[in-house]
Copies of this chain bind each other. A is one copy, B any other.
């Protein structure tokens, strides 16, 4: 990849990085615009405000759209790998943030989709560059990633349950009590099992209420499962952050805090002047 030169290098520094004064200012201004844009869309959806300031909101919205379009083009120009940026997570988000406005010219109503811009606020983590927050969100993210398989198995089991509960309540309550179809009854089962309980659909017959009571207690019991999964994975992700000991022989990490010998090559981990205090210092240093 050819390194960027001249104004493109300068632009890259301002737009993509947040270490320099100019780069930080750019990111803060950008986040301000994003938030202002999201708030504009929200206010514009309130009938009273729309009738009073509709034209003003529309102008503001197009101003932000143009700004973000210019920014998007600049981002493509100021990177050595434009295609890589366009396909990246933030590249897609940046495109989604400007598309709805242009689409609304063709399909009226879609302009509210610009609230997807709120995703852009995730850049805030980049600006803050607060190591602790990055580290904490890494722990959370790693725990969620590590538990994805268990959560998949769990969600599959829940899905099977709500389909069965939905079909049963449909047979028991029937259309005269509001359970007009199996899909709608499945919706009721989800509302009940997740303990949301709107009450827009609720069983009227004795048998239906018995089934509902059963479903609630079931939901009460299985809500424990995802919590257990995430807690276990979070404990592990948390702990894995602490074991910063590196084997002096094979340089591999991931040793338990009570390990005295490297579990990969078998040499003593105690060779360096590593004490309990040192361990804590390392953890702090890498946090």
Contact = CB atoms under 8 A, between A and B. Distances in A.
Interface of A: 38, 41-42, 45-47, 109, 112-113, 115-116, 118-119, 121-122, 132-133, 136-137, 139-140, 143-144, 149-155, 158, 160, 163-164, 166-167, 170-171, 175, 180-187, 190-192, 194-200, 202, 206, 209-210, 212-213, 216-217, 219-221, 223-236, 238, 246, 251-256, 258-269, 275-276
Contact of A262 (B181, B183, B185, B261): B261
Contact of A221 (B45, B137, B151): B151
A220 B194 contact: yes
A12 to B, nearest CB: 27
Tell me whether chain A's interface is mostly helix, strand or loop, or mixed. helix
Contacts of A109: 171
Nearest to A132: B149
Number of copies of chain A assembled together: 4
Contacts of A122: 160
B113 A182 contact: no
Contact of A133 (B152, B160, B175, B263): B152
Contacts of A253: 276
Contacts of A234: 228-229, 231-232
Contact of A261 (B166, B167, B226, B266): B266
Given A196-B192, A223-B220, A175 B263 contact: no
A265 B269 CA distance: 10
Nearest to A130: B149
A36 to B, nearest CB: 14
Contacts of A116: 164, 167
Nearest to A144: B225
20 contacts: A45-B170, A45-B182, A46-B183, A109-B171, A121-B160, A133-B153, A137-B150, A137-B153, A187-B210, A190-B213, A194-B216, A198-B199, A198-B202, A224-B229, A227-B228, A231-B234, A246-B276, A256-B256, A258-B264, A260-B266
A140 B112 contact: no
